[in-house]
């Protein structure tokens, strides 16, 4: 079903949305200061191309270590992103999602737009992974947290 959903998504405009994000990311990379936002555009492009079966996850939760994008600079970058247009992208995906959910057959596409809208709000420090990877990483993080709690008691 994921393959069918991604195929229908691509022919219904996902390819062009992904291509647009890649072009915007390349433009951001031209200016050295835009590299963090360019990387965020590439994450958006990855999810825009084939969103079914994938989810968004913090790189800190995935790798169990902090990097530049998941720390204070990442938060600052997300604030700049949000103020300069991220909210518009998030709002547009939310509206597209609501429009898709009007029909029963469009609900899966609406859910993917909601996922893209959430990523469009604050994309720096996030990555796109298969759902199974996110579940495994979440389970490992929970087990490590429980072990830390038990060791501290």
The pLDDT tens digits for 1-27 are: 899 999 999 988 889 889 989 999 999
Non-local (6+) Cβ contacts of 51 within 8 A are 6, 9, 14, 112, 115, 116
Q: Name the token pair of 115.
A: 């996922």
pLDDT value at residue 139:
93
How far apart, in whole angstroms, are the C-alpha atoms of residue 141 and residue 44? 25
Q: Is 130 or 1 the better-scoring residue by pLDDT? A: 130
Question: What tens digit of pLDDT does each residue of 50-59 get?
Answer: 999 999 999 9
User: Is pLDDT above 90 for 65?
Assistant: no
User: Is pLDDT above 70 for 122?
Assistant: yes
Cα 105–Cα 110–Cα 112 angle in degrees, nearest 5: 120
pLDDT value at residue 108:
93
User: Is pLDDT above 70 for 71?
Assistant: yes
How far apart, in whole angstroms, are the C-alpha atoms of residue 11 and residue 107? 17
How far apart, in whole angstroms, are the C-alpha atoms of residue 144 and residue 62? 13
61 to 22, 98, 124, 136: CA distances (angstroms): 25, 29, 14, 11
pLDDT value at residue 64:
84
Q: What 8-state DSSP symbol labels residue 32?
A: G
pLDDT value at residue 85:
85
How far apart, in whole angstroms, are the C-alpha atoms of residue 64 and residue 19? 31
Mean pLDDT (the chain, rounded): 91
Could you tell me if 60 and 66 are in contact, meaning their C-beta atoms sit under 8 angstroms apart?
yes
Average pLDDT for residues 40-49, to the nearest whole number?
92
pLDDT value at residue 153:
61
Residue 110 banded pLDDT, cuts 50, 70, 90: very high
């Amino acid at each position: 079903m994921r393959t069918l959903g991604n195929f229908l998504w691509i022919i219904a405009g996902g390819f062009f949305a992904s291509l647009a994000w890649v072009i915007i990311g390349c433009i951001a990379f031209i200016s050295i200061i835009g590299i963090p936002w360019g990387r965020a555009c590439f994450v958006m492009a990855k999810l825009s191309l084939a969103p079914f079966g994938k989810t968004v996850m913090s790189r800190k939760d995935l790798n169990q270590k902090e990097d530049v994008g998941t720390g204070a600079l990442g938060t600052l970058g997300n604030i700049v992103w949000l103020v300069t247009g991220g909210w518009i992208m998030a709002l547009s995906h939310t509206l597209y999602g609501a429009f898709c959910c009007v029909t029963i057959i469009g609900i899966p596409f609406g859910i993917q737009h909601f996922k893209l809208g959430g990523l469009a709000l604050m994309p720096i420090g996030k990555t796109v992974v298969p759902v199974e990877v996110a579940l495994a990483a979440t389970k490992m993080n929970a087990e490590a947290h429980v072990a830390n709690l038990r060791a501290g008691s």
